[in-house]
């Protein structure tokens, strides 16, 4: 029996992710990115969770998602209270997880047509 893997056409599929890179639609990114259903924003200047500030989440909030998946590298690391407050004050849910978990969750939520944005911090 022949099995064919069909790739989704209506959103950008994350093939894999780790602390050093994310592969989206066969393109590898090695610097931090913001991912929407239809585009990759590869100009997100965040090097690690310790340097993430409320100003860094403004481009994410401007996309008006219902939920943000924040991939923090190889391990789950929570951002500062000020960063979490920026999401809360905007009425946007944020889920913090390692990059691999964020990629898996992204693929599920995006396939369901949810209003979701993923932000991956890459070292």
How does residue 123 score in pLDDT terms, banded at 50, 70 and 90? Answer: confident
- Considering the domain delimited by 14-120, tell me its CATH architecture: 3-Layer(aba) Sandwich (3.40)
Per-residue confidence (pLDDT) for residue 1, from 0 to 100: 38
Whether 116 has a pLDDT exceeding 90, the answer reads: yes
Cα separations (Å) of 9 from 13, 37, 38, 87?
9, 10, 10, 30
Residue tagged 């219902």 (tokens): 66
Residue among 64, 19, 31, 48 at smallest CA distance from 56: 48
H helices within 50-98, ranges in order?
A: 54-61, 81-89
Per-residue confidence (pLDDT) for residue 6, from 0 to 100: 55
Whether 40 has a pLDDT exceeding 70, the answer reads: yes
Contact 35, 110 (CB under 8 A): no
Question: If you count DSSP H runs as helices and E runs as strands, how many of each does the chain have, helices first?
Answer: 3, 8
């Amino acid at each position: 029996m022949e099995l064919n893997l069909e790739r989704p056409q209506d959103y950008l599929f994350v093939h894999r992710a780790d602390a050093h890179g994310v592969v989206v639609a066969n393109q590898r990114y090695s610097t931090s990115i913001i991912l929407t259903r239809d585009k990759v924003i590869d100009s997100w200047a965040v090097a690690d969770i310790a340097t993430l500030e409320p100003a860094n989440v403004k481009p994410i909030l401007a996309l008006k998602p219902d939920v943000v998946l924040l991939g923090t590298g190889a391990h789950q690391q929570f951002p500062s209270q000020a960063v979490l407050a920026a999401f809360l004050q905007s009425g946007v849910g944020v889920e913090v997880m390692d990059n691999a978990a964020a990629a898996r969750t992204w693929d599920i939520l995006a396939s369901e047509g949810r209003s979701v944005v993923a932000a991956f911090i890459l070292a």
